[in-house]
Amino acid sequence: MATRLTNVAIDGKDQRALARWWGEALGWEVSYEDEEETDIAPPAGEPGVELAFGPVPEAKSGLNRLHLDLSSRSLEDQAAIVARLEAAGATRIDIGQDKYAPWVVLTDPEGNEFCVLEPRHLYEGCGPIAAIVVKAHDPAELATFWQSAAGGEIKVRNALAAGIRPATPGPWLEFVRNEDPKTVKDRIHLDLRPFAADDQDAEVARLLELGAVRTDVGQSGEESWVVLADPEGNEFCVLRPKD
């Protein structure tokens, strides 16, 4: 394994405003910004992966296939997080969850779904983002691909869900069974990066052998990243190595 998950990329009609909203939500600062990208990152020494926000002209349609689960330390802390985020512009929504579900489903100001979880020992030490959750027709098979792509250890694997604990502290990568067809480009996707001594082209070739395919999302071909899709069609990018 010579690539690892480094970013979660999120499309937005106003990427700067959305990035700053999530920065306030997580307690993170802007780490990079230009006309085409605004990134936020955890404070130095704290666990997590960067969130990279990019501009798109179209509004969100339908439910995202990827979403973030936020952690909490206690039921009181969960309630306080939900209240704070609602005051900042988040909205409670019903996506069919059980009315007795212990987590709370919200959307950010551009309609991206996310959950605020009740306290779970599983996610202690992960940081404010407990998990990155991906809808999957076959969670176990998709987890096998992503373990090879992003590293970590598969700790949960059954017909309904699979979970990868990361190799270093940060959010879990989880797959939950869902039969809905994928119909549009994912508004949230994962970015992988080879380690500094590794080769981007070689890593792209390795991922293609594992079952990824090249895909066109309107990129010019001059970018420094390569766009692929996993075996269930979820787009992701392979970035250039850096120190």
> What residues does each domain of the chain span?
3-238
Per-residue pLDDT reduced to its tens digit, 183-215: 889 999 999 999 888 899 999 999 999 999 999
CATH of 3-238, one of 3.40.50.300, 3.30.230.10, 3.10.180.10, 3.30.300.130: 3.10.180.10
Cα torsion angle, 96, 139, 162, 114, sign: negative
User: Is it the case that residue 115 has pLDDT exceeding 70?
Assistant: yes
User: Is it the case that residue 1 has pLDDT exceeding 60?
Assistant: no
User: What is the rounded CA–CA span in Å between residue 242 and residue 88?
Assistant: 35
Interval 227-239 mean pLDDT = 96
- Structure tokens belonging to residue 25: 């939500």
User: Is it the case that residue 243 has pLDDT exceeding 70?
Assistant: no
User: Is it the case that residue 48 has pLDDT exceeding 70?
Assistant: yes
